[in-house]
């Protein structure tokens, strides 16, 4: 069975599964160059089908994430193009009248200058807009199932019956479980996010009897709360939450107890679900009023500590209730690496795995897992024997020979030198000398984390490199930490990891040992010295492992600094042309593309 799976929403993404194996996945933003592009993933679909050498007519199913669908954000490019000022306008001119004055202001009227009906599927948007203005909410779900089914079947030229819809939280949970290597023992599956198909959290257990949903909730507010605290702090919601998490480490617990008390007086953990001491009237104005006069770092520290406490308590209850010792965690809240670090400390937890980018991009992969799981159940087959965990995150396209040759030609015509098939030892020498290198090779990584193939790498010992990359290359915020890629063979030297938690995807934070404070200083959080590592095995990425091994041979250092290859606010580079553009605009010293090293003369 060949299954194309689609997420059409925040950071639209496509994936392809063949016979239970995920062979490709990439987000539309990598092609459009708009961060978090919510447009229909036309280019992503084309790319994954090409990778799998599959024609649309070969597809057995198209699995689409989401049984419910609200197109207003897509029509207005809410996540890719709306500014912080626009999001503040949304609160004051849309939500405030609706929540506090009983006035219904059409979202599309408020942001009519953003409405884009020229995007795919073009004229069909007119019918969708007419329906939205009709106010017939009872028919909304059925209407937008038909709308999406028609768009997809027409685009691919397939029967409408092949298009199915997958529940949002099932997709999160099944991705967390089936894409991970943890399938042989009883496993707890948690999902948590802002909202999806009338849920924002769930508890399931997987064992020899299958996957059973034990609890679901509409009361979990952390995902949305973190979103609006991000906005209150003047940053872009649904994108910059990680900046708040990075800032939180600088806050002193003794100073943010008042703010923590405000959070703690709202939602609390009640068994496998959540309840309220005081239920906020909304998640923006309520806290805006409460925190007037509070310092920005105290607010950041308090929301992070509250998140950690809630998730740890909830996980502990679920582990005790199910008797499971191992956990897989999906949904956008699982992106909070510091909270995950606290969960790992729970005495009853023996193992944990977080798959690459568990936020909404992963719904594309999760939907394929759900669809194939259900086929197996109908055919009375064990899904665990059919569905395969992902081997690595390198699921995107690789450069074509033409793309590579064009960049090499442009480089030779410019102020650059070009070296063919550079030896890893030479690259290591450059890093040792302080050269900052962009690496765009082989297949691109799926998701938000650069894992070596679309990365900027540097010597991790020198903190001065932080300022250079922040100011001259990436234009990013000064307080945000970088991360290291560490050889699997050297990980025990640097990480405090008594439970031997696997960390190949930068999805978990760790405390560090003294050796890391010296060897990997620039790749740690500069205040609390925690780390979000990519532990690199030879099996998962042989070429990257060889490069880091060469650096280790030259310096004795078992890792390199790794940050995503992009300008701040732009998607990670996809093609050699994208990489060369960042190379020219920034202050990168060298660029690695497949088979070539380009250096400034």
Return d(Cα 402, Cα 6) in angstroms, integer.
29
pLDDT at position 187: 97
Strands (E), 84-230: 163-166, 187-196, 199-207, 210-217
**Which residues lie below 8 Å from residue 413, measured CB to CB, with a gap of 6+?**
none
**Which residues lie below 8 Å from residue 541, measured CB to CB, with a gap of 6+?**
392, 394, 451, 452, 453
Predicted confidence (pLDDT) at residue 587 exceeds the cutoff of 90: no
Average pLDDT over residues 578-600: 95
pLDDT confidence band for 135 (50 / 70 / 90): confident
Show the tokens assigned to 23: 């062979």
Return d(Cα 5, Cα 16) in angstroms, integer.
6
Q: How many beta carbons lie within 10 A of that of residue 494, not counting itself?
A: 28
Return d(Cα 418, Cα 497) in angstroms, integer.
42
2-82+110-169+365-386 and 182-354 agree in CATH topology:
yes
Among candidates 73, 140, 112, 59, which has minimal Cα distance to 372? 59
Contact 447, 357 (CB under 8 A): yes
Predicted confidence (pLDDT) at residue 183 exceeds the cutoff of 80: no
CATH domain 401-600 topology:
DHBP synthase (3.90.870)
Q: How many beta carbons lie within 10 A of that of residue 113, not counting itself?
A: 7
Q: Domain ranges for the chain, please list them.
A: 2-82+110-169+365-386, 182-354, 401-600
pLDDT at position 182: 86
Predicted confidence (pLDDT) at residue 472 exceeds the cutoff of 90: no
Average pLDDT over residues 238-242: 97
Superfamily of domain 182-354: ATPase, nucleotide binding domain (3.30.420.40)
pLDDT at position 389: 97
pLDDT at position 370: 98
Predicted confidence (pLDDT) at residue 9 exceeds the cutoff of 80: yes
Among candidates 72, 70, 44, which has minimal Cα distance to 155? 44
pLDDT at position 158: 98
Average pLDDT over residues 83-100: 97
Average pLDDT over residues 247-270: 98
Residue 87: its H or E element: helix 84-89
Return d(Cα 382, Cα 370) in angstroms, integer.
13
pLDDT at position 471: 86
Among candidates 111, 76, 117, 71, which has minimal Cα distance to 91? 111
Residue 466: its H or E element: helix 464-468
3-state secondary structure 96-133: HHHHHCCCCCCHHHHCHHHCCCCCCCCCHHHHHHHHHH
Contact 2, 59 (CB under 8 A): yes
Per-residue model confidence as pLDDT tens digits over 270-319: 999 999 999 999 999 999 999 999 999 999 999 999 999 999 999 999 99
Among candidates 29, 42, 14, which has minimal Cα distance to 77? 29
Alpha helices in 291-400, H assignment, sequence order: 296-322, 337-344, 363-378, 383-386
Average pLDDT over residues 363-379: 98
Contact 211, 189 (CB under 8 A): yes
pLDDT at position 415: 83
Among candidates 25, 7, 360, 373, which has minimal Cα distance to 212? 373
Per-residue model confidence as pLDDT tens digits over 419-468: 999 999 999 999 999 999 999 999 999 999 999 999 999 999 988 899 89
Helix (H, G, I), strand (E, B) or coil at 199: strand
Contact 8, 74 (CB under 8 A): yes
Per-residue model confidence as pLDDT tens digits over 532-579: 999 999 999 999 999 999 999 999 999 999 999 999 899 999 999 999
Cα end-to-end span (Å), the chain = 52
- Which has the minimum average pLDDT: 28-37, 55-64, 106-115, 465-474? 465-474
Predicted confidence (pLDDT) at residue 184 exceeds the cutoff of 80: no
Summary mean pLDDT of the chain: 97
Return d(Cα 600, Cα 553) in angstroms, integer.
25
**Which residues lie below 8 Å from residue 459, measured CB to CB, with a gap of 6+?**
431, 432, 434, 465, 522, 555, 557, 560, 561
- Looking at domain 2-82+110-169+365-386, its CATH architecture is 2-Layer Sandwich (3.30)
User: In the Cβ-directed half-sphere of 55, how many Cα atoms lie within 13 Å?
Assistant: 4
pLDDT at position 137: 83
Return d(Cα 35, Cα 44) in angstroms, integer.
14
pLDDT at position 476: 82
- Which has the minimum average pLDDT: 84-93, 335-344, 584-593? 584-593
Per-residue model confidence as pLDDT tens digits over 215-237: 999 999 999 999 999 999 999 99
pLDDT confidence band for 411 (50 / 70 / 90): very high
Residue in the block written with tokens 């999760």:
366
DSSP result, 5-64:
EEE-STT-EEEEEETTEEEEEEETHHHH--TT--S--HHHHHHHHHHTT--GGG-SEEEE
- Which has the minimum average pLDDT: 22-36, 54-68, 408-422, 463-477? 463-477
Q: Is-cis flag, bond preceding 440, omega within 30?
A: no
pLDDT confidence band for 398 (50 / 70 / 90): very high
């Amino acid at each position: 069975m060949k299954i194309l799976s689609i997420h059409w929403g925040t950071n639209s993404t496509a994936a392809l599964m063949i016979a239970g194996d995920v062979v490709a996945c990439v987000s539309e933003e990598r092609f459009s160059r708009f961060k978090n592009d919510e447009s229909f993933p036309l280019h992503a679909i084309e790319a994954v089908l090409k990778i799998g050498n599959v024609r649309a007519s070969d597809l057995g199913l198209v699995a689409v994430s989401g049984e419910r669908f609200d197109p207003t954000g897509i029509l207005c490019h809410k996540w890719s193009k709306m500014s912080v000022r626009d999001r503040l306008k949304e609160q004051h001119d849309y939500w405030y009248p609706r929540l506090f004055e009983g006035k219904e202001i059409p979202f599309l009227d408020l942001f009519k200058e953003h409405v884009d009906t020229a995007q795919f599927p073009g004229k069909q948007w007119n019918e969708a807009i007419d329906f939205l203005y009709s106010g017939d909410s009872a028919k909304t779900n059925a209407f937008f199932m038909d709308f999406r089914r028609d768009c997809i079947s027409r685009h691919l030229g397939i029967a409408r019956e092949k298009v199915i819809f997958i529940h949002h939280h099932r997709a999160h949970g099944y991705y967390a479980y089936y894409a991970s290597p943890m399938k042989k023992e009883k496993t707890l599956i948690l999902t948590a996010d802002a909202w999806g198909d009338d849920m924002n959290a769930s508890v399931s257990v997987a064992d020899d009897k299958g996957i059973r949903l034990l609890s679901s909730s509409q009361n979990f507010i952390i995902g949305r709360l973190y979103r609006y605290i991000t906005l209150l702090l003047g940053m872009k919601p649904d994108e910059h939450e990680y900046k708040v998490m990075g800032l939180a480490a600088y806050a002193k617990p003794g100073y943010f107890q008042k703010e923590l008390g405000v959070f703690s007086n709202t939602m609390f953990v009640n068994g496998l679900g959540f309840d309220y001491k005081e239920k906020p009237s909304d998640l923006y104005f309520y806290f805006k009023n409460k925190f007037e006069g509070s310092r920005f770092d105290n607010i950041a520290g308090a929301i992070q500590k509250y998140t950690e406490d809630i998730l740890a308590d909830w996980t502990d209850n679920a582990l005790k209730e199910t008797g499971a010792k191992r956990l897989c965690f999906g949904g956008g809240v699982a992106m909070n690496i510091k909270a995950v670090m606290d969960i790992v400390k729970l005495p009853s937890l023996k193992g944990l795995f977080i798959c690459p980018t568990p936020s909404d991009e992963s719904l594309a992969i999760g939907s394929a897992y759900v669809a194939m799981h259900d086929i197996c159940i109908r055919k009375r087959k064990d899904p665990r024997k059919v569905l395969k965990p992902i081997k690595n995150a390198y699921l995107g396209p690789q450069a074509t020979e033409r793309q590579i040759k064009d960049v090499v030609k442009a480089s030779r015509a410019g102020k650059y030198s070009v070296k063919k098939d550079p030896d890893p030892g030479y690259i290591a020498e450059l890093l040792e000398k302080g050269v900052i290198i962009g690496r765009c090779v082989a297949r691109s990584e799926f998701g938000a984390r650069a894992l070596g193939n679309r990365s900027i790498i540097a010597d991790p010992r020198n903190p001065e490199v932080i300022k250079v990359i922040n100011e001259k290359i990436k234009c990013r915020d000064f307080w945000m930490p970088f991360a290291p890629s560490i050889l699997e063979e050297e990980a025990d030297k640097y990480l405090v990891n008594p439970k031997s938690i696997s960390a190949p995807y930068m999805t978990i934070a760790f405390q560090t040992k003294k050796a890391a404070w010296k060897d990997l200083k620039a790749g740690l959080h500069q205040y609390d010295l925690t780390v979000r590592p990519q532990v690199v095995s030879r099996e998962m990425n042989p070429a990257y492992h060889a490069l880091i091994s060469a650096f280790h041979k030259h310096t004795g250092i078992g890792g390199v600094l790794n940050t995503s290859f992009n300008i701040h606010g732009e998607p990670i580079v996809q093609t050699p042309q994208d990489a060369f553009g960042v190379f020219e605009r920034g202050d990168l010293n060298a660029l690695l593309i497949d088979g070539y090293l380009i250096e400034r003369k």
